[in-house]
């Protein structure tokens, strides 16, 4: 997209924290324009548009709402004659919601990611490499995450991504859903998860590799929601040119190639 023909985006969940961050960040970019904003049915903000009208007014929808709303939105988009592409940043999907999004991706280009941060996506690669190099019988892995007290799902989508990266490094699969029950001694090779919810924490993630004699910790701290908004906008610009399919930030950043 160039400055004469900016990408038209619609923001779903526009009244939420991330919806607001996307709108503020988009206003600083000449290649993007906010063509529509919408939220849950019954929202009274006069600046909001009905979802049906918003989908016709945009090239890409950026959605940071909630799992059920995101899955329903993907289904609606897939039913359009000329569907907009979709960027989904919600986390905490159940199996049926994941299936609905996968079905929608047969007609819609969708970027779905648990985290839109460049730093986090770099961290995923480092965690996978470390897990591959450090033998499971000597090194325990613990994923820690902290978020604000209003976050519903736990562990976070990003924590699960980090757990899956560690499991792939060890040539296995992460079993989900993950239990946070820590009673009893630690099982060799099991990837553990710890969660903190409190205050206004934007996002803290770390992966600790612990042996009897040393500890290695890889971590990432989010300082401002604009970093996620910038990533979502980069995904929106990228996905508009893609064929229908289900993508993630590793695709957007080119890490999946080769």
Angle, in degrees to the nearest 10, between helices 67-78 and 95-104: 30
In whole angstroms, give the CA distance from residue 155 to residue 206. 12
> Based on the number of CB atoms within 10 Å of its own CB, is 241 exposed (0-12), middle (13-18) or buried (19 or more)?
exposed
Distance CA 168, CA 134 (A): 13
In the annotation, is 5 catalytic?
no
Annotated catalytic residue, options 112, 147, 205, 220: 147
Query: Any idea what the Cα angle at residue 221 is, between residues 218 and 222, rounded to 5°?
Result: 145
Beta strand residue intervals within 115-179, DSSP E? 140-147
Q: 3-class SS at 37? A: strand
Which residue among the candidates 137, 148, 149, 151 is catalytic per the annotation? Answer: 151
Helix (H) / strand (E) element for 112: namely: strand 109-112
Q: Is 147 a catalytic residue?
A: yes
Active site residues: 147, 151
């Amino acid at each position: 997209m160039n400055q004469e023909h900016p990408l038209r985006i619609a923001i779903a969940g526009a009244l939420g924290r991330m919806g607001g961050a996307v709108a503020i960040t988009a206003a600083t970019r000449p290649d993007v324009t906010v063509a529509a904003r919408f939220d849950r049915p019954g929202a009274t903000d006069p600046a909001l548009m009905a979802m049906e009208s918003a989908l016709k007014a945009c090239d890409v929808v950026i959605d940071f709402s909630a799992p059920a709303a995101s899955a329903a939105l993907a289904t609606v988009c897939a039913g359009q004659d000329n569907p907009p592409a979709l960027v989904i940043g919600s986390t905490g999907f159940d199996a049926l919601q994941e299936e609905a999004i996968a079905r929608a991706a047969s007609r819609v280009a969708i970027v779905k990611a648990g985290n839109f941060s460049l730093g986090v996506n770099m961290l995923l690669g480092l965690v996978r490499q470390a897990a591959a190099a450090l033998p499971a019988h000597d090194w325990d892995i613990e994923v820690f995450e902290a978020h604000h007290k209003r976050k519903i799902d736990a562990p976070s989508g990003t924590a699960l991504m980090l757990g899956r990266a560690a499991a792939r490094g060890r040539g296995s699969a992460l079993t989900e859903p993950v239990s946070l029950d820590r009673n009893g001694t630690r099982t060799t090779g099991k990837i553990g998860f710890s969660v903190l919810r409190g205050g206004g924490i934007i996002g803290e993630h770390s992966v600790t590799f612990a042996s009897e004699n040393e500890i290695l910790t890889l971590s990432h701290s989010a300082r401002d929601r604009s970093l996620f908004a910038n990533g979502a906008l980069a995904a929106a610009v990228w996905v508009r040119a893609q064929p229908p399919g289900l993508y993630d930030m590793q695709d957007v950043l080119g890490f999946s190639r080769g």
